Every structure is written in C-alpha cells, then in structure tokens.
Amino acid sequence: MTGRDRGLRILAPLAIGLLVLLGWEALVRLRGIPPYVLPGPVAIAEALVRDWGPLSASLLVTLKITALALLIAASLGLLLAVLFAQSPVLELSLFPYAVILQVTPIVAIAPLIIIWVDDVTLSLLICAWIVAFFPILSNTTVGLNSTDHNLLDLFRLYGAGRWQVLWRLRLPTAMPYFLAGLRISGGLALIGAIVAEFVAGTGGNASGLAYRILEAGFQLQIPRMFAALVLISAAGIGIFLALSLLSHLLLRRWHESAMAGGDRR
C-alpha cells in the first residue's frame, strides 16, 4: 500500500462524515426542525460539552462493566475451550448449553437476571458476560482443534506430554482464533452492558450510558440523548481499535491476518 492509498483510506471516510454532518446541520436549520425531534450536530456537540460531567461518569461505568465482562469472558472462554480440547466428552456434553446461552436473546433474560441478582453491577456484568462469552469459546475451540496434524505427530515422536502439546502447540495455534473472537466479543460486551442497563434503567437503578439515554428521553432532552449515543459509538469504536491493535502486535511476526499493510519482510 502506498502512502497515497493510506492517506485516501483515512481522508475519504472523513470527508463523507463531514459532508453528512454538514447536510444534517443544514437540514435542521433550514427546515427549522425543533431539537426535541432532531437536534443538529452542533446542538449535540454543545450538549456533550455542557453535560460532560454526568455523561463521562456514566461512560466510565459502562466501560468498566464492559471491560470486566470481556475479561471474564476471555479467561473463562479460554479455560473452557482448553478443557474441551483435553476432553471431547466434556465438549460434547457442554457445548450445546453454550449454544443455548448464545441464542437466547439477552433482552429477554436480562429482566430475570436483574430480578434474581440483588447487586445491580453484578447483574449487568452477568448480562454483558453472557453475550461476550460464546464467540471466544467457540473460536478458541476451533483454534485448539486446528492444530497441524504433522506437528502433532512431531510432538508425539519426541515424546511430548499433554501439557507440552497444549502449551507449545495447541495454544499458539489457537491464538489468532482467540484474538478474532476477542474482537467480536469486545463489541458484544458493550452491547450486552447497554441492553442490561436499559432494562435495569427502566427500573430506575443504574448509572451507565443507557440510563442517561432513558433519562434524557424522559426529560425530552434529545440533544443530550444523542450525545450519550455518540459516546456509546465512540466507546465501541475505541474497543474495536484497541483489540485490533493488540491482535496486530501479537501476530504481526507470523500470522497472515496481521500482515496486511505491507510490512512483509
């Protein structure tokens, strides 16, 4: 990729975004649309600056739950995938339940979890964890099972133990799969946290970004609602970029997926 291409890759979407924002602002102003129906980008930006205090506090709450849920999902997913790889019987018996957990809509079970679990933060954490868990488990399981059979033979030939095979062969093989799962789960954990906050927020006891959206809606402070929405999107993008960077740093020396961008040696 040349420098010109790279510049274009950043500039082109930026230009489109700027055009859309300009058009949006012009539409709102020329048509005289009231801010409680559709606020313009400027009004949203103003709300973001004005209400930065409570909004940033809420952002932190949501991010904390997302990060914690992702961390637990990653460690439990990895651990369970390793157990699956060691014992096919365990995989056969437990995997269907992981699928059930995945296909059950979080919106439907979030109210139950919030009722059952007294602690709000814990209930949010559980909801976010449920949606973030499966991609990591499923991807890592596939990764652990994709080990080159010739390499497995080689390890056998040299008398490697189960632990050595796991640590030196299966886990490194599974690494790109795990990281791909992590990138998917990062976004999902945020969505899970937001959904759970919405459900909990309807009951009036939450303080994350979704609660701010609900609150602003009730008070007809639509610019502030949009400002909270902007923060959620920004958080999602930030999480994705951070996990992509992590994946790139870990894989760039050897895996094809991290080679795009012309740093082939």
Partner 1 sequence: MIGRLVSLSGVAKRYPTGTLAVQGIDLDIGQGDFLALLGPSGCGKSTLLRMIARLAAATEGRIDWPAGPPRPGDIGFVFQEPTLMPWATALANVALPLELAGLPRREAAARAAEALARVELAGFETAHPRALSGGMRMRVSIARALVTRPRLLLLDEPFAALDEITRHRLNNDLLALWEAERFTVVFVTHSVFESVYLARRILVMAPRPGRVHAEFAVEAPAPRGEAFRTSAGYAAQCREVSRALAAAMGEAA
Residues near partner 1, by CB under 8 A: 148, 150-151, 153-160, 164, 168-169, 172, 175, 253-256, 259, 265
Give dist(CA 113, CA 104) in Å, integer: 13
CB of 181 to partner 1, least distance (A): 18
Q: Which is nearer to partner 1, 4 or 264 (CB)?
A: 264
CB of 255 to partner 1, least distance (A): 7
Residues 6+ apart with CB under 8 A from 138: 98, 181
Q: Which is nearer to partner 1, 158 or 218 (CB)?
A: 158
Residue bearing tokens 């602002």 = 25
Whether the CA torsion 137, 139, 145, 148 is positive or negative: it is negative
CB of 247 to partner 1, least distance (A): 14
Residue bearing tokens 């991609």 = 135
Q: Which is nearer to partner 1, 93 or 164 (CB)?
A: 164
CB of 52 to partner 1, least distance (A): 44
CB under 8 A, 24+ apart: contacts of 18-25: none
Give dist(CA 42, CA 22) in Å, integer: 10
CB of 243 to partner 1, least distance (A): 19
> What tokens appear for 142 in the block?
């596939």
Q: Which is nearer to partner 1, 3 or 161 (CB)?
A: 161
Give dist(CA 107, CA 194) in Å, integer: 10
Q: Which is nearer to partner 1, 101 or 259 (CB)?
A: 259
